[in-house]
Amino acid sequence: MESIFFLVVAAVAVISSILVVTCKNPINSALSLVMTFFCLATFYVMLDAPFMAATQVIVYAGAIMVLIIFVIMLLNVRVETVKRGTHAVIAGSAIGLFILFQTVWFLMKGSMTGKVGDMTKEQIVSVGHVELIGKALFTDFLLPFEVTSVLLLAAIVGAVILAKKKI
Amino acid sequence: MDTLILGLPVAYYIAMVAKVLVAFVFVLLTVAYATYAERKIIGHMQVRLGPMRTGWHGLLQPIADGVKLFFKEEIIPSQASKFAFLIAPLVALIPAFISFAVIPFGDSVTIGGYTVPLQIAAYYDQAGKQVFDVNVGVLYILAMASLGVYGIVLAGWASNSKYSLLGGLRSAAQMISYELAAGLAIISVFMLSESLSLHKIVADQAGGAWYAFKQPLAFVIFFICSLAEINRTPFDLPEAETELVSGFCTEYSSMKYAMFFMAEYANMITVCAVTTTLFLGGWHGPAFLPGWFWFIAKVYFLIFLCMWIRATYPRYRYDQLMRLGWKVFLPLTLVNVVATGLWVMFISK
């Protein structure tokens, strides 16, 4: 049951991510990307990580993609005339094949150690997914968390200064 | 009843299908009659009668409206972006409906020895005597609410019309701004309930300990922000008939227009149901009537409140709307979160 469901969602994910790069209309590309994010969220749910799934949809599909679509709408980019750059296609395929080879190579080379980390499935079920993430974020990873928030604040202030002529 | 399909009893599947059907039919009927109720209530508030001709006191009006819209001519503007134009009404409608998957309509009921929780995405552990539901239920609702903006933005862009585009842009800006304040407002509820599961949040409010009393500021801000997020009056700038000629749905006709209309009302019901669940104690109420009755009564009261607000207030201006969202509600919710944090940390423990 679960594997059939996985295969269906995976097929949708692959097809929609191919559509992202092949669609000629930028809005349709953006919509396909939203669909891909959705499929990723479904995978997170299947991996017992509902919090990740919810944030995936809220942050990526709900906020970032809306901004991208906003920009496309304002620039009024209609159907893009795609130039068939053969050099780019060849270079892109070469890099793609290289990365595929690299991934498969390292996967084949490594071996399963069978070592289990701290976060087992039982622990996630008993303590709770959100609780575990919260605890890790505010104790073990407090410094990176704070640094990220300061970075984001700096970005917001920077955007306001760049956009506003008179402050 | 003891037969297992994929490790689950048959009763589980029957209960699941029944719950989905009942919830869906309930929302659809409420959507249909909310349009009627709105016209009737606003009519009486403005000393008019409202619809009177179709059926007794116009009771068949929603059916007449539906049939009329169904048989209208379907027009797609020649310069429209076809794909986006066709899917936009669906994208608006679906998130509005699927939010109901996590909302608890009532406490568990036992039918023929099998206990069923009245919440679609939940099951009752018959051995452990415990209800399990989506443990990030509130985030799921926020996620679905954030998807609602796509329908309107796409409709505005795909129609290839100035009015529609302006309506779409306004709604995108408005929904993103108010989503933030609404999300921050309910954080203070999580801080008190220590859970994101809607079942647990409702269970915490037993005996009249509603979060609306503990968090009055969060309650008021959440409700107002929700009105803004679903584009209800006084925040219906994306439509703004008088200046934008219905905004994003100017170019839509027939069933597609009806879908936007249904999405608007379904969103209103969703928002009222979420507010009831988070702040008004969900299905808790005096025990002489079943839990689902109290839930529906509270939701209908909030829907009435929405209509009352529509009959009372004029529309906000765009800059006033943005100022209210970013300069009033956002700081207030931040203060509320900090205050709740201090209270939980030093006083309640």
- CB–CB of B105/B273 below 8 Å? no
Structure tokens at A25: 């209309």
Indicate if A2 and A72 belong to the same structural domain: yes
Which residue among A54, A80, A106 closes a domain? Answer: A80
On whether residue A127 sits in a domain, the answer given is yes
Which residue among A27, A60, A80 closes a domain? Answer: A80
Q: Which residues pair with B122 in a beta bridge?
A: B133
On whether residue A76 sits in a domain, the answer given is yes
Q: Quick one: closest CA in B to A75, which residue?
A: B157
pLDDT recorded at residue B325: 85
**CB–CB of A63 and B158 under 8 A?**
no
* Amino acid found at A57: V
* A129-148 residues touching B, CB cutoff 8 A: 129-130
Q: Is A69 on the interface with B (CB under 8 A)?
A: yes
pLDDT recorded at residue A100: 92
| pLDDT at A80 > cutoff 90 | no
On whether residue A160 sits in a domain, the answer given is yes
**Residues of A with Cβ-Cβ distance to B132 under 8 angstroms:** none
Q: Domain count of chain B? A: 1
Residue A153: pLDDT band with limits 50, 70, 90: very high
On whether residue A99 sits in a domain, the answer given is no
CATH number of the domain within which A56 lies: 1.20.120.1200
Give the mean pLDDT of A113-120. Answer: 73
Q: Domain count of chain A? A: 2
Residue A10: pLDDT band with limits 50, 70, 90: very high
On whether residue A42 sits in a domain, the answer given is yes
pLDDT recorded at residue A101: 92
Say which residue the tokens 């201006």 belong to. B317
Pick from B187, B206, B188, B190: nearest CA to B198:
B190
pLDDT recorded at residue A102: 92
Show the domain range for A155.
119-167
**Residues of B with Cβ-Cβ distance to A66 under 8 angstroms:** 146, 149-150, 153, 172, 176
CA–CA separation, A59 and A78 (whole Å): 26
CB atoms under 10 Å from CB of A28, counted, come to 18
On whether residue A73 sits in a domain, the answer given is yes
Indicate the helix (H) or strand (E) that contains B38: helix B10-45
pLDDT recorded at residue A86: 72
Task: Tell me the percentage of chain A whose pLDDT exceeds 70.
Answer: 93
pLDDT recorded at residue B129: 67
Q: Rg (Cα) of chain A, in Å, rounded? A: 21
Count of all residues that appear for chain A in the document: 167
Farthest-apart Cα atoms in chain B, separation: 65
pLDDT tens, residue order, chain B (349 aa):
467 766 677 777 888 888 888 888 888 888 888 888 888 888 888 888 888 888 788 888 888 888 888 888 887 777 777 777 888 888 888 888 888 888 888 777 777 767 777 777 777 776 666 777 777 788 888 888 888 888 888 888 877 777 778 777 877 778 878 888 888 888 888 888 887 888 888 888 877 778 888 888 888 999 888 888 887 777 776 666 666 666 677 777 777 888 888 888 888 898 898 888 888 887 887 877 787 888 888 899 999 998 888 888 888 877 888 888 888 889 999 999 999 889 888 887 6
Strands (E), B117-194: 122-125, 130-133
DSSP B231: T
| pLDDT at A19 > cutoff 70 | yes
CA–CA separation, B292 and B108 (whole Å): 10
**Residues of B with Cβ-Cβ distance to A28 under 8 angstroms:** 83-84
* Amino acid found at B4: L
- CB–CB of B99/B145 below 8 Å? yes
**Residues of B with Cβ-Cβ distance to A25 under 8 angstroms:** 81, 83
Indicate the helix (H) or strand (E) that contains B116: strand B114-116
Show the domain range for B96.
4-347
What are residue B200's phi and psi, to 5 degrees? -70, -40
Residue A77: pLDDT band with limits 50, 70, 90: low
Peptide bond into B234 cis (omega under 30): yes
CA–CA separation, B97 and A155 (whole Å): 36
CA–CA separation, B35 and B320 (whole Å): 28
Closest by Cβ to A51, choosing from B139, B172, B179? B139
Which residue among A56, A80, A104 closes a domain? Answer: A80
CA–CA separation, B286 and B200 (whole Å): 19
Pick from B123, B229, B139, B240: nearest CA to B176:
B229
